């Protein structure tokens, strides 16, 4: 099966309060076949800095995430968890989501077929976009 570009995102929740409010927006992306969830884990750092990993079915507050359809493949490994946890303050949680950009599968296949190699890509933070637009008077 051809696969499109794969991305990850680390979403921080201060105070160790996971918010299921993001689930409807994610579900819509899945339903529209914009993305496909490949892996989803949750990390909690307690006040002493100890890290615990949870799956969506291990805590009541994560129950809303059970409605997201995907192929959870245990792609996130211990090194990834350590990387994500390193940036968390004590008493903070994070959701680590890995998804395929299914909307870009055809483009990815065309790039690969043409011998192209993506050398770099990055997500530009919204604050930088807002500032740039404001500086250009486009806001």
Tell whether 127 is covered by a domain: no
pLDDT along the chain (139 residues), means of 10: 86 79 86 89 92 80 70 79 92 91 92 92 87 79
Contacts of 7 (CB under 8 A, 6+ apart): 98, 99, 101, 123
Tell whether 54 is covered by a domain: yes
Query: pTM value?
Result: 0.80
Tell whether 28 is covered by a domain: yes
Enclosing domain of residue 103:
6-109
Q: pLDDT value at position 79?
A: 92
Tell whether 70 is covered by a domain: yes
Total number of domains in the chain: 1
Q: pLDDT value at position 16?
A: 73
Tell whether 138 is covered by a domain: no
Tell whether 135 is covered by a domain: no
**Residues 71 and 30: beta-carbon distance below 8 Å:** no
């Amino acid at each position: 099966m051809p696969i499109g570009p794969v991305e990850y995102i680390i979403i921080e929740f201060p105070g160790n309060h996971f918010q299921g409010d993001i689930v409807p927006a994610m579900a819509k992306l899945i339903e529209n076949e914009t993305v496909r969830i490949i892996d989803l884990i949750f990390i909690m750092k307690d006040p002493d800095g100890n890290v615990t990993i949870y799956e969506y079915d291990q805590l009541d507050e994560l129950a809303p995430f059970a409605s997201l359809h995907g192929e959870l493949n245990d792609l996130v490994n211990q090194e990834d968890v350590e990387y994500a946890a390193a940036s968390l303050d004590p008493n903070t949680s994070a959701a680590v989501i890995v998804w395929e950009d299914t909307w870009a599968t055809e483009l990815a296949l065309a790039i690969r077929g043409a011998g192209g190699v993506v050398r770099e890509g990055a997500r530009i933070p919204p604050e930088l976009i807002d500032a740039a637009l404001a500086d250009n008077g486009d806001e």
